[in-house]
Amino acid sequence: MFNEFLIRMGSFFTIIGIGLMVLFAVTYLANAPDFKYFFLGLVSIYVGWRLLRRKAPPPPSGRFATIRKWRESGKNNPGEKKE
């Protein structure tokens, strides 16, 4: 449960960081750049990314299992080539 909370916090920080970067772009286009938005956005995206990396990788989907089987059987029998 705590791990799920950290993943949600990672998503939150990433979205806030993207918003701060957009806000910096708007201030930059208005010829009044405010670099605190840029640096806060970078830090927020980094913290969010680090928290999101705690998420377990998804299980293999099993797609292309037949193709993998064919390739492995071809590697096991390298002498049997058609001419």
Query: What is the pTM for the complete model shown?
Result: 0.66
pLDDT at 80: 59
Cα 50 from Cα 36, distance rounded (Å): 21
pLDDT at 78: 61
Mean per-residue pLDDT for 25-49? 96
The Cα-based distances of 54 to 2, 44, 65, 83 in angstroms read 11, 16, 28, 51
